[in-house]
Amino acid sequence: MDIEESIKLYQRALELIPGGVNSPVRAFKSVGGNPRFIRKGLGSKIYDVDLNEYIDFIGSWGPHIFGHKPDFIIQAIKEALQNGTSFGAPTEAEVKIAELICELVPSIKMVRLVNSGTEATMSAIRLARGFTKKDKIIKFEGCYHGHSDSFLIKAGSGALTFGIPTSPGVTAGTAADTLTAKFNDIQSVKELIQNNKGQIAAIIIEPVAGNMGVIAGKPDFLKSLREICSEESIVLIFDEVMTGFRLAKGGAQEIYGIEPDLTTLGKIIGGGMPVGAFGGKREIMSLLAPSGPVYQAGTLSGNPIAVSAGLASLEYIKNNPRIYNELEIKSKNFELKIREILNKLGKNLALNRVGSMLCLFFCENEVNSFDDALKSDTQKFSIFFNHLLNNGIYLPPSQFEAIFISTSHSEDELIYTAEKIEEALKLIY
- pLDDT tens, residue by residue, 51-101: 999 999 999 999 999 999 999 999 999 999 999 999 999 999 999 999 999
Instruction: Tell me: do 369 and 403 sit in the same domain.
Output: yes
Number of domains in the chain: 2
267, 301, 319 - which closes a domain? 319
Range of the domain at 137: 71-319
Contact (CB, 8 A) for 175 and 153: yes
What are the phi and psi torsion angles at 365 (to 5°)? -145, 155
Give me the CATH number covering residue 53: 3.90.1150.10
Final residue of a structural domain among 279, 302, 319: 319
Same domain, 260 and 336: no
- Give whole-number Cα distances, 104 to 109, 222, 254, 269, 321, in Å: 11, 21, 10, 12, 11
- Taking the C-alpha atoms of residue 6 and residue 12, their distance in angstroms, rounded to an integer, is 10
Mean pLDDT of 360-386: 97
Chain mean position to CA 2 = 31
pTM of the predicted model as reported, rounded to 2 decimal places: 0.95
187 shares a domain with 311: yes
Residues 9 and 133 placed together within one structural domain of the fold: no
Query: Pairing between strand 235-239 and 200-205?
Result: parallel
Of 240, 221, 215, which Cα lies nearest the Cα of 160?
A: 215
Same-domain status, 100 and 238 = yes
C-alpha triplet 409, 386, 212: angle, nearest 5°: 75
Catalytically annotated residue among 144, 316, 324, 394: 144
The stretch 256-273 carries a mean pLDDT of 97
- The answer to whether 386 and 30 have CB atoms below 8 angstroms apart is no
Q: Indicate which residue of 45, 267, 330, 380 is catalytic.
A: 267
- One-letter amino acid at 162 equals F
Judged against a pLDDT cut of 60, whether residue 156 lies above it is answered with: no
For residue 333, the one-letter residue type is N
Q: Cβ distance 271 to 312 under 8 Å? A: yes
64 shares its domain with 197: no
Could you say which of 319, 354, 385 is where a domain stops? 319
CATH number at residue 174: 3.40.640.10
Sign of CA dihedral 168, 240, 313, 102: negative
Rounded CA-CA distance 124/318 in Å is 26
State whether residue 404 is helix, strand or coil. strand
Does pLDDT of 206 surpass 70? yes
Q: Same domain for 258 and 201?
A: yes
Q: How confident is the model at residue 161 (pLDDT cuts 50, 70, 90)?
A: very low
Q: Provide φ and ψ at 399, rounded to 5°.
A: -60, -25
Same domain, 121 and 172: yes
177 counts as catalytic:
no
Length of the chain: 429
Q: Are residues 379 and 403 in the same domain?
A: yes
Give the pLDDT score at 20: 95
**Whether residue 2 lies in the annotated active site:** no
pLDDT tens profile 286-333? 999 999 999 999 999 999 999 999 999 999 999 998 999 999 999 999
The DSSP code for 129 is H
What is the per-residue pLDDT for 176? 79
Which residues, in sequence order, are CB contacts of 325 under 8 Å at separation 6+?
A: none
Q: Which strand ranges, in their side-by-side order, compose the sheet holding 235-239? A: 110-114, 276-280, 262-265, 235-239, 200-205, 136-140, 178-181
Count of beta carbons in the 10 Å neighbourhood of residue 407? 19
Rounded to 10 degrees, what is the CA torsion of 414, 347, 156, 140? 120
pLDDT bin (cut points 50, 70, 90) of residue 166 is low
Residue 172's pLDDT band (cuts 50, 70, 90): confident
Average pLDDT over residues 149-153: 71
- Three-class SS of residue 420? helix
Q: Minimal CA–CA distance to 270: which of 244, 248, 289, 249?
A: 244
Residue 54 confidence (pLDDT)? 98
CB atoms within 10 A of CB 396: 21
Same domain flag for 394 and 313 = no
pLDDT confidence of 164, banded at 50, 70, 90?
A: very low
Q: Is the pLDDT of residue 353 over 70?
A: yes
261 is catalytic: no
Mean pLDDT of 270-279: 96
pLDDT at 147: 80
Q: Are 241 and 117 in contact (CB under 8 A)?
A: yes
Catalytic choice (48, 56, 239, 372): 239
Q: How far is CA 412 from CA 138, 307, 419, in A?
A: 44, 34, 11
- Same structural domain, 125 and 161: yes
Indicate the average pLDDT of the chain. Answer: 94
* Domain identity same for 195 and 105: yes
Q: Print burial letters for 88-108: b (CB count within 10 Å at least 16), e (below 16).
A: eeebebbebbbebbeebbebb
At a CB cut-off of 8 Å and minimum separation 6, what does 338 contact?
351, 360, 418, 421
Q: What percentage of the chain has pLDDT greater than the value 90?
A: 90
Residue 165: pLDDT over 80 = no
